[in-house]
Structure 1
Amino acid sequence: MSLEAVARHYAKPMVKEEVARYCAGRWVALEGATVGGRRGVFLRYFRDGRPLTISSPSDVEERLHAYRALRPRAVYASINVYRRLSGAGDVEDPSNVARASPVWDVDADLGAWRECLEAAEAIVSWLERHGVDRSVFLKWSGRGVHIHVHEGAFSAELLACRHPLDVAFAVVEYALRSVKDELKRVASKAPRGGREFKVENKVDAKRVFTAPLSLHRELDLCCVCFKPNDLRCFHPSWAELSEVRHDTSWGVFEEGEGDELALEALKAVGGCSWLGPSKAAEARTVVQAELPEAAARAAAKLGRFQVMGLLQAARYYLVTGDLDRAKSFGLNRAVFY
């Protein structure tokens, strides 16, 4: 898709309005177009070091134009809603988080879209059984589905005594542990392709998810929202740019309907490690198809060379943020050890 076509998409009134409505109060990221199989630049700050934000429909086109040299294509926003975003330190301050959204990430190849929806239905049904219904919406991101509980589902009284990110992490983790067997069954029958079918808890302090009606970073599709009652009739064609079908009621919520579930989840799981260690917190859950025995044995045979290369590459990447050079550095260091 050309830069002109990207600009035309984001110039549409409904696109600008929906992107801005979702991004308001959130830390925004722009991702450049993928070129030659390499992911584009991932931009999270203004040139003066402030966290990137979008507060109004006019901001959408302005941000894309200001950073047009990076060929921006996809728009993301944080799971956290912040009280202020005027300086770089604002996104490092836990007390600055006003609310946070529980989000389950179901990722797979486009060919496994039916299994993605089946996994989503298992999570949505579990939420309904726990009294959370009106505040739930889903987003088809292009290759998978995100299940959201609107951050407004948790009362101010609850959030006054429990951190919003603790609540979001605990609810997502508790649900995944509860329906893990059902999700494994779905994963086992998903067609295998270039992307592994996976359902996971990605809740953390810096996590972002695709904004409604944003373009996919690679595919010529956009992110569309729909409510649980459309799960059985949803089709990926809803995300095609020529016939977008998008439900603007994703912002509907019922304050307090998630409180009882949140307290139950916090008791069972604990909070998010970003805020310090929690005795109840365990490793976050990832559900995927189990490898055949032979493949699992092969994957388990990691030698000293592979481990050293991976560790050195990770070290370099954390310092520089350059993935390609980190891979090269890790390989070279492993050779000399």
Structure 2
Amino acid sequence: MNSLEQQHYSRLDVKHEIARFAQKRWIGIHCIKRDAEGNRIMIRYLNGKPITISSPNDIDLLWQNLRDKGVRTIYATAAKYHKLISIEDVKSITNMLLYTPTWDIDNDFNHWKSTIKACLEIIEALKDEGIEKSIYVKWSGDGAHVHLHEKALTNKSLKGRTPIDVAYAIVEYIRLKVEPRIQEIAVRDECNLKVENKIDRQRMFTCPLSLHRDNDRVCICMKPNQLQHFKPSWVNPKTYYHNSEWDYYEEGEADQLAEKAISIIGGLPPRKTRRRKYSKLDEAILRWLRISNDM
């Protein structure tokens, strides 16, 4: 009898959705097999090259190449790259083509309603910045990821900055705006709800329709108008409900937010510091408004 993993990753819709998201991204695999300490083995390279997925058939090839370890969870970087041929390609910021701004929402699965509330707070904050069409949400394991489609940002928004700088600034700006409300929800609902900015050079997120590494749940996508209807059964491997229109976006929709966020937040902090160079967000916004009015 085939395992849950074999049954799941043999589905055409699963392979198709993973391949769509994975295009031009660096892939990581959590294997079924565990190491001596009981942790799932993580693989990011095969034959000395970064793992990539360009088509549904590549997932079948992954199973063949990893048949002694098995495939449990498939991840892809938030970054998209110009090329992914050598190890050096994933180390170079100049090789980054695009970067998907992502808010990481961590919580206990039993408090899924609180997680949905956090998603809605982020989405409302993005709407206040003129962004509605380029947002999608992935439910992953115990929490969720709110994604802003990377193509909602044009080259105009970069203005000499790298895609990762712009993504970091956007995520941090919105995170700080919603932080008071997130804390209120956590206290009121008595849960461990957190919204984090995990943007870094090699950050990976679960691919749509991948299985979670530990729990038998599927990573499903939703558009904002579906959040109010979410049910835990949507992530069940046997009954999952997934919106394949997650990749809809409006080109340039996030350009104005990018300009504001970069002006207020700046880019990705150096690794050793990773400390905010600004004080309170309200004060930073007021300074930005004064500068804008003087121009």
Question: Do the two structures share a fold, i.e. TM-score over 0.5?
Answer: yes
Deviations 1:120-172 (A, max 9, x none): 10000000110111110000012101000010000122236221001110000
Corresponding residue for residue 112 of structure 1: 111
State the structure with bigger RCO (CA 8 A, min sep 6), 1 or 2.
2
C-alpha distance in 2 between matches for 1:278 and 1:69: 39
C-alpha distance in 1 between matches for 2:94 and 2:19: 24
Match of 1:230 among 219, 226, 229: 226
C-alpha deviation, 1:5, in angstroms: 2.4
C-alpha deviation, 1:75, in angstroms: 0.3
C-alpha distance in 2 between matches for 1:274 and 1:217: 30
C-alpha deviation, 1:85, in angstroms: 0.1
* Structure 2 residue ranges without an equivalent (≥5): 282-295
Corresponding residue for residue 313 of structure 1: none
Counterpart mapping for 1:157-236 below 5 A: 157-159=156-158, 161-192=160-191, 196-236=192-232
* Structure 1 residue ranges without an equivalent (≥5): 286-337
Deviations 1:230-280 (A, max 9, x none): 111111210111111100111111110000001100111110135998997
SS of the residue 1:249 aligns to: coil
Q: Structure 2 length as normaliser, TM-score?
A: 0.89
Please tell me whether the aligned partners of residues 271 and 278 of structure 1 are also in contact (alpha carbons under 8 angstroms).
Answer: no
Counterpart mapping for 1:20-31 below 5 A: 20-31=19-30
Q: Identity of counterpart residues, as a percentage?
A: 35
Counterpart mapping for 1:134-153 below 5 A: 134-153=133-152
Match of 1:267 among 239, 247, 263: 263
C-alpha deviation, 1:281, in angstroms: 4.3
Counterpart mapping for 1:47-86 below 5 A: 48-86=47-85
C-alpha distance in 2 between matches for 1:281 and 1:85: 33
Runs of 4+ in structure 1 deviating by more than 6 angstroms, as ranges, are 275-280
Q: 1:77 to 1:281 in 2, by over 3 A?
A: farther
Q: 1:277 to 1:220 in 2, by over 3 A?
A: closer
C-alpha deviation, 1:218, in angstroms: 1.1
Please tell me whether the aligned partners of residues 271 and 281 of structure 1 are also in contact (alpha carbons under 8 angstroms).
Answer: no
Q: 1:118 to 1:86 in 2, by over 3 A?
A: same
SS of the residue 1:248 aligns to: coil
Corresponding residue for residue 41 of structure 1: 41
Q: Structure 1 length as normaliser, TM-score?
A: 0.78
C-alpha distance in 1 between matches for 2:109 and 2:161: 38
CA-based RMSD of the aligned residues comes to: 2.3
C-alpha distance in 2 between matches for 1:49 and 1:60: 18
Q: 1:275 to 1:256 in 2, by over 3 A?
A: farther
C-alpha distance in 2 between matches for 1:182 and 1:160: 32
Q: 1:7 to 1:279 in 2, by over 3 A?
A: closer
Alignment of 1:249 onto 2:250:
no
C-alpha distance in 2 between matches for 1:277 and 1:112: 33
Q: How many residues align?
A: 279
Please tell me whether the aligned partners of residues 33 and 39 of structure 1 are also in contact (alpha carbons under 8 angstroms).
Answer: no
Q: 1:218 to 1:30 in 2, by over 3 A?
A: same
Q: 1:110 to 1:99 in 2, by over 3 A?
A: same
More helix by share: 1
SS of the residue 1:212 aligns to: coil
C-alpha deviation, 1:34, in angstroms: 7.3
Please tell me whether the aligned partners of residues 182 and 193 of structure 2 are also in contact (alpha carbons under 8 angstroms).
Answer: no
Corresponding residue for residue 16 of structure 1: 15
Amino acid at match of 1:239: V
Amino acid at match of 2:143: G
Amino acid at match of 1:41: I
C-alpha deviation, 1:76, in angstroms: 0.3
SS of the residue 1:139 aligns to: strand
SS of the residue 1:179 aligns to: helix
Deviations 1:72-97 (A, max 9, x none): 20000000000000010001111100
C-alpha distance in 2 between matches for 1:3 and 1:160: 51
Amino acid at match of 1:165: I
